[in-house]
Amino acid sequence: MITIDVWLYGNLSEYGGENTSPGFANRKVDLPEGATIQDLLDALRMPTEERGITFVNGNLTAMPGKQPDLDHRLSDHDRVAFFHLRSMWPYQYRQGAAIAESFDRELGKDQRQGIHHSYET
């Protein structure tokens, strides 16, 4: 088994069980080794469509309309942060965020190049 440190922000805090505070929840979730983001969502009983921005260990893995991370394998003690669709971009990432390799590949497929996580001046 592996244990995942899950942070749920905005309205997603309702999936935090007894560890819910106003606006956020923190929950430890035990999953079998080899579990994925989809397995975590299933354990939380949270539809993927309700989440917006997602980080795994500080790396951006999903945004609204782009969720290539469902098959991302989790490891013991990973920290996963799910932000509700109505949540703003987290302040601590205002200068940009590290991007998971799978999400970077997905962004590269977008011919419009309309999604940017940071900008150069």
pLDDT tens column, 18-27: 777 778 899 9
Residues 26-45 pLDDT 10s: 999 999 999 999 999 999 99
CATH homologous superfamily, domain 2-109: Beta-grasp domain (3.10.20.30)
Q: How many other C-beta atoms are found inside a 10 Å radius of the C-beta of residue 22?
A: 6
Phi, psi (degrees; rounded to nearest 5) at 35: -65, 155
Q: Give pTM, 2 decimals.
A: 0.76
Give the whole-angstrom CA distance, residue 103 versus residue 94.
18
Residues 52-111 pLDDT 10s: 889 999 888 888 888 889 999 999 999 999 998 876 666 555 555 656 566 666 655 555
